[in-house]
Amino acid sequence: MRQHVNPLSSFFQLPLELPGPSELFENAELPMHLDIGSARGKFLLEMASLQPDWNYLGVEIRKTLVDAAERDRNQLGLKNLRFIFCNANVSLDSWLSDLPINFLARVSIQFPDPWFKRRHKKRRVLQPRLLISLAKSLGPGCELFIQSDILNVIESMTSLVELSKCFNRSEDSSGIWLEKNPFPVKTERENYVLANSLPVYRALYIRNSHSLPDLQRLNLEYQLLKN
């Protein structure tokens, strides 16, 4: 069950100073996979165990879930994984801009809180400013993976990504949804949805060499989207 947190409440609007890569990971030279909305963290706990040649960072707005995930990480002794409590749309912008070149190699946003009503669209996690920050930090050829079990949510996300013109949809998902998750691990939500024979909508994007869009223009175009 999703436990929604209102990201626009005053408490979550306070920017947090996040630690740099050398403070987070034993080997800060490894490429990093950023998972936005990491929830209880089981996806990243398994991924970090399977792929020790990657660093993994999960950011989550629900602190109790971050604390629980960090306890599991410590028990497993994983030095290539960390979980951080923050509002991605408030605290990630400056942190991403300070990252070493080519450090951020992959971003995933999986089954975000849907905020179904259109008037709540501003509460959804993938907003124009965050997308531009991600595009700025991801070099050409790097990946952005998104998935949801709610069609209008994933359509809103894909529309925003494509409005930016910073990403090309991968050949495997061009014009259709990816049939399979490209990762060897599924999130808890994905397992639940598939176990109940419900659809999952997935898209994989590759960062191209286009320059960053104007934030004001992207904001306006995003607000005009119907979904």
Q: Residue 135 in contact with residue 162, Cβ under 8 Å? A: no
Closest CA to 42 of 146, 187, 148, 149: 187
- Indicate the number of domains in the chain: 1
What was the pLDDT predicted at 113?
76
Helix (H, G, I), strand (E, B) or coil at 107: strand
Q: Divide the 227 residues of the chain into consecutive groups of 10 and give the mean pLDDT of each group.
A: 50 68 96 96 98 97 94 98 93 92 95 61 81 96 96 92 95 76 95 95 96 94 78
What was the pLDDT predicted at 3?
53
What was the pLDDT predicted at 14?
63
| Nearest-angstrom CA–CA distance, 169 and 39 | 26
2 in a domain, yes or no? no
Q: Active site includes 67?
A: no
| Nearest-angstrom CA–CA distance, 35 and 78 | 16
What was the pLDDT predicted at 123?
64
3 in a domain, yes or no? no
33 in a domain, yes or no? yes
**Residue 71 domain boundaries:** 10-223
Taking only the tens place, the pLDDT of each residue in 78-116 is: 999 999 999 998 899 999 999 988 899 999 999 997 644
1 in a domain, yes or no? no
Q: What is the pTM of this model?
A: 0.90
Domain CATH number, residue 111: 3.40.50.150
For residue 86, give Cα distances in angstroms to 6, 19, 61, 91: 13, 12, 5, 6
Taking only the tens place, the pLDDT of each residue in 191-211 is: 999 999 999 999 999 999 999
For residue 62, give Cα distances in angstroms to 6, 58, 84, 175, 198: 10, 12, 10, 34, 26
What was the pLDDT predicted at 171?
73
| Nearest-angstrom CA–CA distance, 112 and 3 | 11
Helix (H, G, I), strand (E, B) or coil at 88: helix
Catalytic residue among 67, 93, 113, 149: 113
What was the pLDDT predicted at 215?
94
